[in-house]
Amino acid sequence: MASDLVHLYMRIDHLPQMWCPGCGNGVIMRDVAVAIQELIEDPELDFNREDFVIVSGIGCSSRAAGYLDFNSIHTTHGRAIAFATGIKFANPKLHVVVLTGDGDCSAIGGNHLIHAARRNMGLTVIAFNNDIYGMTGGQYSPTTPNGDKATTAPYGNVDRPFDIANLATGAGASFAARGDIYHARETIDIIKQAILHKGFSLVDVYSVCPTYYGRKNKKGDAVEMLKWQKEHLVPTARYYSMPESERADKKLIGILSYNDYPEYTDEYAKVIESCRKKDKK
């Protein structure tokens, strides 16, 4: 037996999913399904299920494209945004949602991320950010915090980490936001905003990997890791009502940057239109 949501929007014959106990990926995948369901069911909006395309790369998190029952494509490591760009270009009316890992989108796929952001391609990128390469056994990723341990950083990570939402903003993304596992309801709303946004949108969702990152760094089990999120990640309204001194060790959950830049496929369509007019003359 399963909930209506699961029956409607997941490939139930592929469930139960194969992620580890307490892995945050299942929560983010559900957030995405609920966000899309609420958009489709909103009578004020005109979203159709057939217009959604889910694109993923490679990694534990990227398996979500196989579980979600939409038009979906599971591509190669780091290239999800490149495939998504092609899909959007071929049919700009589609809502192309990329599900990717921190390694997939900020290590091997980092270049695709920054250029899709710079061009303002109308994609929605949901980063399942668990601070580690989960699938290959816990190597450090570009988001592993400085000093933390990984199988490839047994004495602590020397690198400084990327903040994926800030990276996207710096590259020109017109919408960048942060979500997490604990604040699932807030994260669903953020994902809805991201999908509604016409240009490039990125949501960096802080996940938890109790198996590799948690265990290696003595962060406790999934429950302990969620308690950490509850205490350190703060939704927008509460964050801004906190005294500055209390914000020092906290991060905001919400929309971090927003701009109304022209969307890429719209601009491209204008070029096509103007060339057609010239041809006719």
133 or 264: whose CB is closer to ligand TPP? Answer: 133
Q: What is the DSSP string of 247-275?
A: HTT-EEEEEEEE--PPPHHHHHHHHHHHH
* Min dist. Cβ of residue 215 to ligand TPP (A): 14
Q: How far is CA 189 from CA 62, 103, 203, 237, 271, in A?
A: 21, 25, 11, 14, 35
Q: How far is CA 206 from CA 53, 84, 226, in A?
A: 23, 22, 10
Applying the rule CB under 6 A, the residues between 113 and 152 that interact with ligand TPP are 128, 130, 132-136, 141
Phi, psi (degrees; rounded to nearest 5) at 126: -110, 110
Residue from 22, 24, 26, 59 that binds ligand TPP (CB under 6 A)?
59
Contacting range for other proteins; rule: CB under 8 A; set: 21-29, 150-158, 195-203, 258-266: 21-29
Q: Which does 82 bind (CB under 5 to 8 A by kind): other proteins, ligand TPP, none?
A: none
Longest dimension (CA), the chain: 71
61 contributes a contact to ligand TPP by CB under 6 A = yes
What distance in Å separates the CA atoms of residue 207 and residue 204, rounded to the nearest whole number? 9
233 contributes a contact to other proteins by CB under 8 A = no
* Min dist. Cβ of residue 222 to other proteins (A): 5
What distance in Å separates the CA atoms of residue 222 and residue 85, rounded to the nearest whole number? 35
Residues whose CB is less than 8 angstroms from the CB of residue 118 and which lie 6 or more positions away in sequence, other chains included? 171, 172
Q: Are strands 52-56 and 71-74 parallel, antiparallel or unpaired?
A: parallel
Q: Which does 110 bind (CB under 5 to 8 A by kind): ligand TPP, other proteins, none?
A: none
Residue from 98, 107, 226, 255 that binds other proteins (CB under 8 A)?
226
What distance in Å separates the CA atoms of residue 124 and residue 196, rounded to the nearest whole number? 9
109 or 254: whose CB is closer to other proteins? Answer: 254
3 contributes a contact to other proteins by CB under 8 A = yes
16 or 243: whose CB is closer to other proteins? Answer: 16
77 contributes a contact to ligand TPP by CB under 6 A = yes
Residues binding other proteins (CB under 8 A): 1-3, 5-6, 10, 15-17, 19-27, 30, 181-182, 184-185, 210, 221-223, 226-227
